[in-house]
Amino acid sequence: MTRAMSCPAAMTACVAGIVIAATPAVAAEPICDKSEIRLVNSMREIAQPYHANLDKGGRLFAAWAGLKNYVLQLNQGDSDKQISLMRLLVAANPRCTVFNVEPNADLVVKPMVDAANRSGAWIVTHWAHNEGLHPFDGNDHWIAHVAVDSLEAGVAISTRLVDAMGRTGGVVALQGRLDTDPARKRFAGLQQVLQHTPGVTLLDQQTANWDRTAAFPIMQTWLTKYGGRIKGVWAANDDMALGALEALRAVGLAGKIPVVGVDGIPEAIAAVEKGEMVATVSSDAYYQGSIGLAMGTCVLTGQVPLPASWPKEHREFYLRLVVITHDNAAQYLREPQPETYVGDWQCDKLWSRSTGKAF
Amino acid sequence: MPATVGLELRSWAPLLALIVSCVGFGLAAPGFATVENLWTIADRSAIPLILAVGTTFIILQGSIDLSIEGVMAASSLTFAMCVLNNRTGLDLGLFSLVLATCAGAGLGLLTGLVTACLRVPSFMVTLGVWSASMGIAMLLSGDQPPLIKDPMLRALGLGRSLAVPNLFLVAVAVVLLGYILQSYTRFGRYSMVIGGGEDMARLLGLPVDGYKVLAFAFGGLLSGLGGALESARIGLGHVDVGAGQMFATITAVVIGGTSLGGGRGGVLQSALGTLTLAVLTNGMIFVGISPYAQKSVQGALILLAALVTTWPLRSRLRIVK
């Protein structure tokens, strides 16, 4: 790889100036001039709040870092498209391009990492990837993988649920699509908590395929079948939690039976604030949409050494999740402020939300 | 005569399937056979019933409608953005229900015109309309699905009148309307004729194309109504409001005894098929069948129901497609 040696001193000073407060000793030579750096957020679509927030997070970082070249790539749920969009873009100026990727499916990670290794572009991936694949196994351009521990999410909401129930009574559980990893792990989180809470019993579990409309009639049927025995409703995502909440509303029980979900979508946060839901867990889309770009920028500007020399737990780590309850809901309903994230974007604080090595 | 016996059995078979499943679940789970659960099942089947009525006419004519979920999504967003909501400043109340239903009818009309006038198979046209209307819905949805704030429409979607779920009352009205259309209008009778033999109908000089357009428009209208009512129930306009409804509706229509080849069946049979499916999904939760096994159990029961309904039709010369 050829290094850009032409970077003017003034520019270096400027980059350093932005992060002067916490700048560590310059760890490597800059790879790119700041004006050459191109930031790419690759995700499914922006019709859902989660994805829209990924994009907002990315733009927030770009504006904060003073980088003008920000590209949004949407694949509309098409894995091949996600890969080919990347390949098209790296045809030009790959070595100064950073991809922050929300993989459409686990299996797109490998081809995208391969494309980065071949072209010299840089990539950070999120959520999950196929087993046996690691950034530290010779994938020098795969800066890092930021994994989300679905078991932790399941445990977190289940703990809040049983507490809200006074650790006694029956609970019903709405599962996600049974063949998906997050569905399995979030439910395992519930089972783990129930094992340690003998007073709470699982009355029934059904799958509503992550879907709000499907959750509604299932909740209705449970209300008919179990009636007053239901003291808590557990859902593997917020959409199903909100569907169940409407079924509770129909019989005047909204806000009277605790409901929990996962994802932290705005409506769920609003329901938490109103007291109709007890808790939801968020991976913080603003953070996920920006951290990869921040890592890449730190590498390209030479403020951190090349990823190949990083310890393993910096290349592949679990993200600390944010549990949203009545106490902190208001904070997450507001538009994101850069100040909330600046601490995470500093080149020496890139791992501030890591809970340790993933997988 | 075997033919007459077949005819009789055929019309009774869907009812038989419904009764058998009710009795079966009633014996297996004590809480199943209660008035409260009757209304739970009624509420669950309300929107599928509305969809099934529209689809029946299309299938009776020998066409197919794969656009249900897309049309529901488009009408759901139209509805949610016209009522009092958190995205637009509009507050059109009940009129937005009319608008959303008309949007559905418009999409159905488009399908009908392309199918009948441009002679594109309905399978392909409705697939295209599904995708296009899904796209419209996504555009309307933007990054934040609109939340419905109109208390009157929320009450329509969630509430009950004299213990009966409101939406079920709407569904019963739609089924009656469908039955009247089928039995007492030219549209209904000719739909049967067109499905039985389109070439024959054309030779007889029937305005086949017109009735085809009408059937798709009516189907779109009811998909639109279904999408809007589902939104009123869950409280927001959502692109996935019809998720899974297309296959469920076609399944319900077919196990009710309406032949996919066209020309045989009717609205009441489709209603029975829909109720049977609702009883199956409700009953499986009551009996406590593991969700891991439910899909296969449901599939097996649907096959069984289809077998029961089509058993009398196994004549030597009948063509099965």
Cβ of A214 within 8 Å of Cβ of B243? The answer is yes
Q: Please tell me whether residues A191 and A97 are part of one structural domain.
A: no
The domain in which residue A342 lies consists of: 9-148+284-320+335-357
Residue A334's pLDDT is what? 82
Residues A299 and A273 in one domain: no
A45 CB near a chain B CB, below 8 Å?
yes
Q: Tell me whether residue A171 is in a domain.
A: yes
In this structure, what token pair is assigned to residue B95?
């009129």
**Together in a domain, A262 and A196:** yes
pLDDT at A56 over 80: yes
- B36–A221 C-beta distance less than 8 A: no
For residues A196 and A190, give the distance between their C-alpha atoms in angstroms, rounded to a whole number.
Answer: 10
Is pLDDT of A87 > 60? yes
Q: What's the confidence (pLDDT) of residue A27?
A: 62
* Residues in chain B, overall count: 321
Give the SS3 label for residue B10.
helix
Whether A221 and B158 lie within 8 Å, measured CB to CB: no
Which contiguous run of DSSP H or E holds residue A73? strand A70-74
The answer to whether B243 faces chain A, any CB pair under 8 Å, is yes
Which DSSP state fits A307? Answer: G
- A16 and A144 within one domain: yes
Could B285 and A204 be called an inter-chain contact, meaning their C-beta atoms sit closer than 8 Å? Answer: yes
Verify that A77 and A94 share a domain, yes or no.
yes
pLDDT at residue A128 in the model? 86
Beta-carbon separation of A178 and B36 below 8 A: no
Percent of chain A with pLDDT over 70: 92
Does residue A159 sit in the same domain as residue A271?
yes
pLDDT of residue B100: 95
Number of other CB atoms surrounding residue B94 within 10 Å: 12
Q: Mark out the alpha helices in A211-346 (DSSP H runs).
A: 212-226, 238-250, 266-274, 285-300, 312-315, 329-333, 338-345
A47, A224, A243 member nearest B36 (Cβ): A224
Q: Do B286 and A225 touch (CB under 8 A)?
A: yes
Instruction: Answer whether residue B11 shows pLDDT above 80.
Output: no
Residues in chain B within 8 Å Cβ distance of A276: none
Contact A250/B281, CB-based, under 8 Å?
Answer: no
Angstroms from B289 CA to nearest CA on chain A: 9
Whether A183 and A292 share a structural domain = no
Which CATH number applies to B2-313? 1.10.3470
Q: How confident is the model at residue B3 (pLDDT cuts 50, 70, 90)?
A: very low
A5 class by beta-carbon count within 10 Å (0-12 exposed, 13-18 middle, 19+ buried)? exposed
pLDDT digits (tens, 9 = 90+) for B32-61: 999 999 999 999 999 999 999 999 999 999
Total structural domains within chain A:
2
Return the number of other C-beta atoms located less than 10 Å from residue A69's C-beta. 15
CB contact under 8 Å between B239 and A213, yes or no, is no
**pLDDT tier, A42 (very low <50, low <70, confident <90, very high otherwise):** very high
What is the tens place of the pLDDT at every residue in B196-235?
888 889 998 889 999 999 999 999 999 999 999 999 999 9
Q: Which residue has the tokens 């899904």?
A: B134
Instruction: Record the tokens describing residue A296, joined without a space.
Output: 């890449």
> Exposure pattern of B111-120 as b/e (b: 16+ CB <10 Å)?
bbbbbbeeee
Set of chain B residues whose Cβ sits within 8 Å of the Cβ of A253: none
Min Cα distance A48 → chain B (Å) is: 5
Q: Which of B143, B159, B240 is opposite residue A46, by nearest beta carbon?
A: B143
- Give A249's contacts in chain B (Cβ within 8 Å): 158
Q: Are strands A259-262 and A279-282 parallel, antiparallel or unpaired?
A: parallel
Q: Does the pLDDT at position A5 exceed 80? A: no
Chain A and chain B share a number of CB contacts under 8 A equal to: 83
The answer to whether B166 and B157 have CB atoms below 8 angstroms apart is: yes
Looking at residue B87, its pLDDT comes to 83
Between CA A37 and CA A41, with CA A38 as vertex, the angle to 5 degrees is 140
Q: How far is B45 from chain A (nearest CA, A)?
A: 9
Q: What is the 3-state secondary structure (H, E, C) of A97-113?
A: EEEEECCCCHHHHHHHH
Percent of chain B predicted with pLDDT > 70: 92
Q: Residue A289: which pLDDT band, with cuts at 50, 70 and 90?
A: very high
Closest chain A C-alpha to B98 CA, distance in angstroms: 22
- Read off the amino acid at residue B295: K
Identify whether residues A107 and A128 lie together within a single domain: yes
pLDDT at B321: 57
* Within-domain flag for A228: yes
- Which span out of A91-95, A224-228, B225-229 was modeled with the highest average pLDDT? B225-229
Q: Is the same domain home to A115 and A246?
A: no
CB contact under 8 A, B244 and A220: no
pLDDT tens across B62-82, in order?
A: 999 999 999 999 999 999 999
Q: What is the pLDDT of residues A96-136, one digit of tens each?
A: 999 999 998 888 999 999 999 999 999 999 988 888 899 99
Beta carbons within 10 angstroms of residue A21's beta carbon: 8
Chain A residues with CB under 8 Å of B147 CB are 267
Q: Kindly report, residue by residue over A161-212, the tens digit of the pLDDT.
A: 999 999 999 999 999 888 778 889 999 999 999 999 999 999 999 999 888 9
Gap from A282 CA to chain B (nearest CA, Å)? 17
138-157 in chain B: CB under 8 A from chain A: 138, 141-144, 147
Query: pLDDT at position B318, please?
Result: 62
Q: What is the CATH number of the domain that holds A260?
A: 3.40.50.2300
Q: Report domain extents, chain B.
A: 2-313
Residues A163, A194, single domain; the answer is: yes
User: Does B5 score more than 60 pLDDT?
Assistant: no
Nearest CA in chain B to A220: B40
Chain B residues with beta carbon closer than 8 angstroms to that of A206: 285, 291, 294
Ramachandran angles phi, psi of A319, nearest 5° = -90, 135
Q: What is the mean pLDDT of residues A10-16?
A: 46
Contact B292 A178 (CB under 8 A): yes
**Of the residues A282, A312, A343, which one is the last residue of a structural domain?**
A282
Q: Are residues A13 and A144 in the same domain?
A: yes
Report phi then psi at A46, rounded to 5.
-125, 25
Nearest to B182 by CA among B21, B59, B299: B59
pLDDT at B128: 93
* Rounded CA separation B280/B275 (Å): 9
Residues A81 and A133 in one domain: yes
Tens digits of per-residue pLDDT, A153-166?
999 999 999 999 99
- State the smallest CA–CA distance between residue B31 and chain A in angstroms: 6
Within an 8 Å CB–CB cutoff, is residue A203 touching chain B? no
Q: Is the Cβ of A225 closer than 8 Å to some Cβ of chain B? A: yes
